[in-house]
Amino acid sequence: MTAIIKINNVAKSYKSQQVLQALDWEINEGDIVGLLGKNGAGKSTLLKSMLNLSEIDDGSITLFGESHLNLSTTVKSKLGYVPQENDEISWLTVNELIKFRRQFYTRWSDEKVDNLVDLWDIDLNKEMGELSPGQVQRVLIILALAPMPQLIILDEPAAALDPAGRRLFLKEIISLASEEKVTVIFSTHITSDLERVANKVAILDQGKIRYFDDLDNAKENVVSLSINQHDTDITVPHLLRVKQQNKRLQCVVSKLDKQWLTEMEKQGVDVVVNPLGLEDIFLEITT
Amino acid sequence: MIFMDQFVISPSSGVPIYKQLLSQIERMILNGYFAQGDSLPSVRQVATDLDINPMTVSKAYGLLEERGYVERLRGKGMIVAKRDEEVSEKEKLTMLNTMIKDLISEAQLVGVSEQQLLAMFVEQASDNTDVESQNTQGKES
């Protein structure tokens, strides 16, 4: 496994507010990573920092082995980015904008552009300023994918899209993931989207990557244990929270200890494992 | 050819998607819905049909292969493997046992006693037998 992104001890503050602190993170080639975080957790700042669109105060970031401050043209041509805010020239038509952007790239797939324009129902002759937020979002995604990047960073790509638009977007990510060795990072609030397409989930909380693992591992490990109240004297490993419900204790753990579970079974302690969806996992970890 | 629209995926469930896929295919092989020699659609096909990550599908296929439900044939992809009758019989029982265990935990969670659950079970079972005997009578007349 090669790490495509290495983030080492990164710090960033706005005025007196520390947004990122001592943040370490590595992302491997081929991973589809969903980044979760509360509003204001610093997701956009982190994604922008990777591309040096936002300056960091401390630490280092490398992309494809090169410092993010000094990327070669080769590495730059491998990057695709979809910003949260649209700052494209509003008086250009979609067609003009595509032609304009095309000149800056050595690799550009007209086929991909045509396909997506067709599939996503985009009117090429409309000016950017005339488009709805959802249509603008689609155009931005097309612009990012056209140069066939190997690392795609998307900041809340689905926020402006309706359910049908989101599904089309997810389909595109899935086809990218099965076609080539493409690495994707996207921030989102919509956990069900993440659960469909991501193989890794990251949770940004209090300036750090608080949780980063395979999505499957997260679901198998962060669980709620229902324990008979007669057995209250036992110690539950990796405990996050306890709640009483229906004469039973509900214990949320960050890591399900299988050995402990077998031991409990042997001792005749009645423990029922209840899986949690990603939304619950996120809330349990961040609160 | 097996088509993927028979599968139901619930991405927000706490059960990982690969497990959902795995148990559904397992069940369909055990109850004979998929026959020996049937070929499974490609990983890519499943991923795009169900809108899920292809790695998730590979993982489910890998486990099915490991457990002997399917085998990889060169040029044909994954096909449903030939199974030992005795083993299949055992696996059917294991599968039902798991479902019963889940049901018991569920009953505990909502505060239904074992006696109540057992009574409900007997009632449902006898209802089923009634319907079945009615059906047979219907056919005879």
Q: How far apart are CA A19 and CA B135, in angstroms?
A: 69
CA distances from A190 to A51, A132, A225 (A): 24, 20, 26
Number of domains in chain A: 2
Query: B44 contacts in A (CB within 8 Å)?
Result: 178
B99 and B73 together in one domain: no
Contacts with B48 (C-beta within 8 Å, 6 or more apart), sequence order: A171, A174, A175, A178
pLDDT given for residue B19 in this prediction? 94
Q: How far apart are the first and last CA of chain B?
A: 39
Predicted model pTM: 0.83
Examine the pLDDT at B141 and tell me if it is beyond 50: no
Of B14, B59, B111, the CB nearest to A276: B14
Of B16, B17, B109, the CB nearest to A226: B109
Measured in angstroms, the CA of A142 and the nearest CA of chain B are apart by 19
Domain that holds residue A203: 3-216
pLDDT given for residue A37 in this prediction? 94
Question: To which H or E segment does residue A48 belong?
Answer: helix A43-50
B15 and B56 together in one domain: yes
Contacts with B131 (C-beta within 8 Å, 6 or more apart), sequence order: none
B72 and B122 together in one domain: no
A20 and A58 together in one domain: yes
**What does the pLDDT look like over B55-77, one tens digit per residue?**
999 999 999 999 889 999 887 78
pLDDT given for residue A203 in this prediction? 96
CA distances from B88 to A6, A233, B81, B84 (A): 48, 42, 12, 6
Instruction: Give the ipTM of the model, two decimals please.
Output: 0.82
Q: Testing the interface with B: which of A188, A216, A243 to mutate, by most B Cβ within 10 A?
A: A216
pLDDT in tens, chain A (287 residues): 689 999 999 999 998 899 999 999 999 999 999 999 999 899 999 999 999 999 999 999 999 999 999 999 999 999 999 998 877 888 999 999 999 999 988 899 999 999 999 999 999 999 999 999 899 999 999 999 999 999 999 999 888 888 888 898 999 888 888 776 899 999 998 898 899 999 999 999 999 999 999 999 999 999 999 888 776 678 889 998 888 877 788 899 999 999 999 998 888 888 889 999 999 999 999 97
Among the three residues A184, A201, A216, which one is the final residue of a domain in this structure? A216
pLDDT given for residue B58 in this prediction? 93
**B8 — pLDDT class (breaks 50, 70, 90):** confident
CA distances from B30 to A217, B53, B78 (A): 27, 26, 17
Greatest C-alpha distance within chain B: 54
Q: How far apart are CA A252 and CA A168, in angstroms?
A: 35
Of B14, B51, B111, the CB nearest to A196: B51
A136 and A64 together in one domain: yes
CATH number of the domain bearing residue A281: 3.30.70
At which residue do the structure tokens 């997701």 appear?
A43
CATH number of the domain bearing residue A15: 3.40.50.300
| Chains A & B: contacts with CB separation below 8 Å | 78
Number of domains in chain B: 2
Q: Which residues 50-109 in chain A show a CB within 8 A of chain B?
A: none
A125 and A240 together in one domain: no
Q: How far apart are CA A131 and CA A137, in angstroms?
A: 9
CB-based contact, A175 to chain B, within 8 Å: yes
| Nearest chain A residue (CA) to B104 | A272
Domain that holds residue B51: 4-80
Number of other CB atoms surrounding residue A222 within 10 Å: 25
CATH number of the domain bearing residue B10: 1.10.10.10
A82 strand-pairing partners = A154
Query: B109 contacts in A (CB within 8 Å)?
Result: 226, 246, 248, 272, 274
User: Could you tell me if B112 and B104 are in contact, meaning their C-beta atoms sit under 8 angstroms apart?
Assistant: no
Contacts with A274 (C-beta within 8 Å, 6 or more apart), sequence order: A223, A224, A225, A226, B14, B105, B109
CB-based contact, B11 to chain A, within 8 Å: yes
Among the three residues A196, A216, A236, which one is the final residue of a domain in this structure? A216
Query: What tokens does A250 get?
Result: 């509900």
Task: Tell me the average pLDDT across B31-60.
Answer: 89
A167 and A39 together in one domain: yes
Measured in angstroms, the CA of B109 and the nearest CA of chain A are apart by 8
pLDDT given for residue B140 in this prediction? 47
| B48 with A178: Cβ contact below 8 A | yes
Amino acid (1-letter code) at residue A248 = R
B63 and B16 together in one domain: yes
Tell me which residue of A247, A252, A256 sits closest to A228, measured CA to CA.
A247
Query: B12 contacts in A (CB within 8 Å)?
Result: 191-192, 195, 277-279
| B56 with A226: Cβ contact below 8 A | no
